A and B are shown apart, each in its own frame.
Chain A
Amino acid sequence: MHGRPRKASEPGEDADSAAKAVKLRSLQSQFMSNHHGKIYTKVAIELSTELLKINPEAYTAWNYRKLAVEDNLSRIESDPDLVKSILDEELSVVESALMQNFKSYGAWHHRKWVLSKGHSSIGNELKLLDKFQKKDSRNFHAWNYRRFVVELTNRSKQDELQYTEDMICKNFSNYSAWHNRSVLVSSLLANRADGFMPNEKIPEELDFVHNAIFTEPGDQSGWFYHLWLLDQTVDVETPLLASSWPSHGCSIILSGPGCLNDSSSKFTTFCSESGSFPLIIYFDQAVGGVSSSTVTIDSELKGNEDLVWEPVSGKNSQVSCGWVTRMKYFSSEPIVRKEYKVKVRVGNSPGIISSRGGCNFSAPCEFFFTAHVHDAAVKDSEESIVSWTDEFDIWDAQSEDLNSFVSLGRLNAEMDLNWRQEALAKEVELFRQLSDSKIGKLTLARLLMASEAMASDDTVKGAHYEEILQLYNDLMALDSSHYQYYKDMHSVAFLHKVTSSTESLSRYLFRYRNMNNLVCLRLNNLSLSRIASVEKLLFVQMLDLSHNELHSTEGLEAMQLLTCLNLSHNRIRSFSALDSLRHVKQLRVLDVSHNHIGKHSVDTTRYLCSSPLSNSEWTQDEVGRQKPSLVTKYWDAYFVLRDMSLKQLDVAGNVIAGDEFNSFVLQVMPKLVWLDGQKLRT
């Protein structure tokens, strides 16, 4: 029972309760007999009134009253006074039921239903609400009803905004009022109502919410409103192209499967049995509408007339930051060693739309790259094992060379930056004064991250990361209940720092000698709990994330070039946590040894993985038909692994590993060559 103290019942109390119960039960059974007999006499209706006064939750009684009203109205339709008196009676029954239980869904709905019958005295509703909302200013039924009445009466949004202001000024610890304010302000901003231009209104609202946060930093009511305003300050509605692979101005080498003798360390070499390579574009926000008409490609490479663009996270999501298409580079004709220029024009015709506000991609922009198509490979490296311990060369390219791999920074930045930067700078200054409290530190860290994202001057880029990392370290100590939240944010900030300049990134870059000098990024042993900044890592072919604290591969789906991935010694709990890797079509080598797979009864990625549980997968194959019980037992391994084309897999050191599981893996992945370091076929 909500909020009722636990105590042993006193003598006499039981008898009391039993007497009340007998009375209520008798009311209920009389009511039921009226309801089933469709008896709508005055006496019968009054009986239901009495029942609802005692128990406003008796939903069938509300239904009965609606039937009774309809029955009575059908007899006296011509007399407006009688209609009014019938409906007024209903409103007064609701009112007394609400006095008994303010949270009765049935009572509130009955009131709405009565109003829908065309009752004219709607002006009273706001007065009644004022009374109720004074008594319980957080009651969400009352706030919902208020929005309903406001809409019905066409009361202006500005008047309602004033109401939220009055409520907040009375007591700023009223989250419901802040919430309603966010609904109203966002709608007024979206409609560009008079006095609601973002560059004026958002700084005003920031000032308004400061009062609440600075008066009582521990009170959460203003926190979420402030975070929303911060997002409005930083997020631009029109999408921008953030990066691509291949990037602007670079050269790549394309060949068939195998190794090239002369693969230069200056270029990325891409080999594929299918004769196609992924072309990836990445936006600063999720967009929809990327297609062969909105993105046009000009090249002599044949067979690329009707390219299909897909979100990197698979066909099901209609919007995505990352989009990929696969360009063919050899056809059936003999391959001639040749150089091709490829020009990509993004936003050629309108249609790329932001998922935020429905805004169109700003201005068309284009980039080009050069593809050197090579002929036959020299030797086949398919069968040899990939080792993560040797064969790495340190990165010897100059940072200018690296610039041609990565497109750091935005290709196209036309936005209304001034007021945003000013507002941010002001917030930073203000929140430095609050940096001894949790919300002060957290907000400051977020503000500084936002300042980094908005910095237009290269010389100040990267200046804030040390401070941000320190703030998150402080927070982990200060608010240990949310330790892991700050830890994740720390990892995000750290990866932003690593990718903030070619100089810092190159410290982690290597070449894997054995396979065409694959570009390898080694972020091992950094206690990372979260992946970030993938848009700056699209060129990476081999990724070492071993000895970290990762529990999911969310985000890696954008890294479409990834061939080898080392996740050993992390905190992966299930195969469903690897769902994003299903979309990395190039992946051949995966090490998930020494994780926590099979150790936990709760799977936190159960619903982030396509499966019959989420109604997003169910095509049965041979394995499914032959081994239904194993499929049920290892369902996530089954659905995730069967979509991958791995040659090499390591699962040792997980609770799930063992003979039964290994033999199941072999059935699901017949093309596997290496399992836990053992060659499967000769």
Chain B
Amino acid sequence: MTNLFSTTRRGALGLALGAAATFGLAMPAAAEVSFEGKTIEFIIPFSAGGGSDTWARFNAPLLGKYLPGNPTIVVVNEPGGGSTKGSNLFAARAKPDGLTVLGTSGSTQFPYLLGDPRVRYEYADWEIVMAAPTGGVAYVSPSTGVSSFEEIGKLKGQKLIYASQGATSLDLVPLLGFKQLGLDVQHVFGFKGRGDGRLAFERGETNIDYQTSSAYIKNVEPLVEAGTAVPLFSWGALDEDGNPVRDPTFPDLPDFSEAYELMTGNAPEGPGFDAYFAFFTAGFPAQKMMFLPKGTPQEIVDVYQAAVTEMKKDPDYIANKEAILGTYEQVTGKAADTLYKRGTVISPELRKQVVDMLAAEYNVKLGD
């Protein structure tokens, strides 16, 4: 508890400093860069109506309001190839003039980290504007005999069933996570979304599940109150330095690394944990990111980051953010940079380890 408190306070301080620093840098440049009368394309490599699209449509008008010259930002959906198509398009075509930005999600990060042959984009080339984190909570059915998270050890040796969207989807994080905890989980694939998975849990077809924070609060907490679900742990959040901490939305629940210690008695480390951690970061704390293309001049990056900082003070933003972002804050500047680096870099050994495991145990072949 105390740990959490000091971290968030430090985080908040760091954030404020970071923001001040970027803003200070941006001021002289802002006079030169202007998007007056321009239209900025915000490429979203997903169809309209999904999470990333909603996120983009929430941010677009607000960001436009605080960019110099008040440009119009339009959301352009370029779906296909599990978001690789739109991202490839951005990588190949976008000019570094600040008029094209890309919004990625965990589904864009994962194929990149796994080395999917369809990926022709390079995260390291891009300039990060902001990152939007998300979180989630894993829970089990009381039929497992677990009545609170302290009893997580009872799960050892039990047969658990999880409704998954696929081994290379965002559900790769629970797949790797459960494995690290030493749980015996049968992953049943082919679910269309976490909502579908929750339905299977409610029908009693599965006995372990997780939901992202807002869905958890709205749909699972009533189950917890009714005694038909028991929360285990949150996936956790990252502090300013990239260390795992409890999720500020669920301060009373242990985060994954605490659950790891509870289960295994060891400190969270080793290659298996590192592999999990890379995909966790790409899937949760750095889930949605906004990028400028390769070679964008620093002054354009600066005005964008400054606009994000300003946007977050807008009354409309404050009034509506909870519906879109949950209780998490979008970050820019240094904080975003940390998330971006952590969420898009993986060592070749770790990549190979995960890809080999997926191939051996789940028959996953990336590509043809």
Q: Do A and B make up one complex?
A: no
